[in-house]
A = this chain, B = another copy of it.
């Protein structure tokens, strides 16, 4: 009985390597952050787009696109980060249904603390792996594009 047809053994191998690399790198970075007493990567993923957005704020929907999380999941995550005083919700003048999420100074300060740790972990792995990042990035981008086709756009 075979579940792995010969045709795409290469695709499967690359996919498994992607899963392993993702898990290993994520664990490595999360551990580096935790060792410094810093919040998890998810907080960075929320705060960074806010920090660099014009006006330092984004609509919930726009923010959701930056984050690997369901809409509901984002609401909950934003709740927690808001409770920590790192961001605040604000009404949207033109559209009273919506809410802005705006980063607080304390949120920007946390980014400043997290980035060096994040960057060091990332840089260490990539440097020691000594790989050509250009074609790697290109291939991964093509994969992401194709995977998103016909999905939810």
Instruction: Point out residues on A near B: beta carbons under 8 Å.
Output: 1, 3-5, 7-8, 10-15, 17-25, 27-28, 31, 48, 51, 68, 108, 111-112, 115, 119, 122-137, 139-149, 151
Shortest distance from the beta carbon of A35 to any chain B beta carbon, whole Å: 12
Complex Cα gap A108–B2 (Å): 11
Asked if B142 contacts A14 (CB within 8 A), the reply is: no
Asked if B125 contacts A146 (CB within 8 A), the reply is: yes
Complex Cα gap A36–B38 (Å): 41
Residues of B within 8 Å of A11, CB to CB, are: 122-123, 126-127, 133
Chain A at the B interface: SS class: helix
**15 additional contacts, CB 8 Å, given A17-B140, A24-B143, A136-B136?**
A3-B51, A3-B115, A8-B123, A10-B137, A14-B133, A14-B140, A15-B122, A18-B22, A18-B25, A24-B148, A128-B146, A129-B143, A130-B142, A132-B135, A135-B136
Complex Cα gap A44–B149 (Å): 24
